[in-house]
Amino acid sequence: MVNKQKILIVDDDNNIAELISLYLVKECFETKICNDGESALEAFNSFDPNLVLLDLMLPGIDGYQVCREIRTKSQTPIIMLSAKGEVFDKVLGLEMGADDYMEKPFDSKELVARVKAVLRRYKPVVAEPQVSNDKVVRYTDLEINMTNYSVNYGGKRVDMPPKELELLYFLASSPNHVFTREQLLDQIWGYEYVGDTRTVDVHIKRLREKIKDHEQWRLATIWGIGYKFEVKD
């Protein structure tokens, strides 16, 4: 028997939460609903979800803080849900560690598609019998391992959400190759992302905060075009 993937739904509007749950249950997911931030954090520990659908406007502890708390201990995917559609709100959510952001009201089919897409991209660390060298990229003081989703920089492990790691790996796998923001969205997000290319800029910014420029390599901006992993001769 295949275990169902579990989705934690956090929304103070129980009608919306129940509707989301209905759509996900039809797609063979197991769901749990919480209506406030405090119970969401408790449920996260006990329910152990594969993904969290997180409303921002919650009583007590808001969605941003819930996201922050989860990210201190887990890289479980988080999709933020909010009636706030400003770019600032989206960027703030992504900077705090969310994997995706959907503006209310949203289409139920799109929500399900987003959930499935994020889950496809997220691969928790598991023991795999086959390890291929092409899933590990190494440079001086840097190792990016897609087999166990780990990054070692300067001899220390660096924690980062799955999409940050995937973006870094993709760029580092093609040194000195320039990619546009649109190409990176298509390669890393894997579907037509409803938003703008600033999503890529946010993730690059977060990577640069964790992975500083090295004398032999760096994440370089190609103004007006995109980014590349620059390796010096």
Full DSSP string of 121-184: H-------S---GGGEEEETTEEEETTTTEEEETTEE----HHHHHHHHHHHTSTT--EEHHHH
Q: Are 137 and 130 in contact (CB under 8 A)?
A: no
The model scores a pTM over 0.95: no
Cα–Cα distance measured from residue 49 to residue 160, given in angstroms and rounded to the nearest whole number: 19
**pLDDT for position 133:** 54
Cα–Cα distance measured from residue 74 to residue 159, given in angstroms and rounded to the nearest whole number: 10
Mean pLDDT, consecutive 10-residue stretches, the chain (233 aa), reads: 82 93 93 94 93 92 90 88 75 83 87 90 50 72 89 91 92 91 84 66 93 92 91 78
Phi, then psi, of 204 in degrees rounded to 5: -65, -45
- Tens of pLDDT, residue by residue over 104-154, are 888 888 999 999 988 887 765 443 333 345 688 889 899 999 888 899 998
**pLDDT for position 132:** 42
**pLDDT for position 1:** 42
Q: 102: left (phi > 0), else alpha (psi -120 to 50), else beta?
A: beta
> To the nearest 10°, the Cα dihedral for 45, 75, 30, 16?
90
Domain map (residue ranges) of the chain: 6-121, 133-231
Cα–Cα distance measured from residue 169 to residue 149, given in angstroms and rounded to the nearest whole number: 10
* CATH number for domain 133-231, candidates 1.10.3720.10, 3.30.70.60, 1.10.10.10, 3.40.47.10: 1.10.10.10
Q: Could you confirm whether domain 6-121 is CATH 3.40.50.2300?
A: yes
58, 80, 206 from 69: Cα distances, Å: 15, 14, 18
Cα–Cα distance measured from residue 62 to residue 66, given in angstroms and rounded to the nearest whole number: 6
CB atoms within 10 A of CB 88: 8
**pLDDT for position 52:** 96
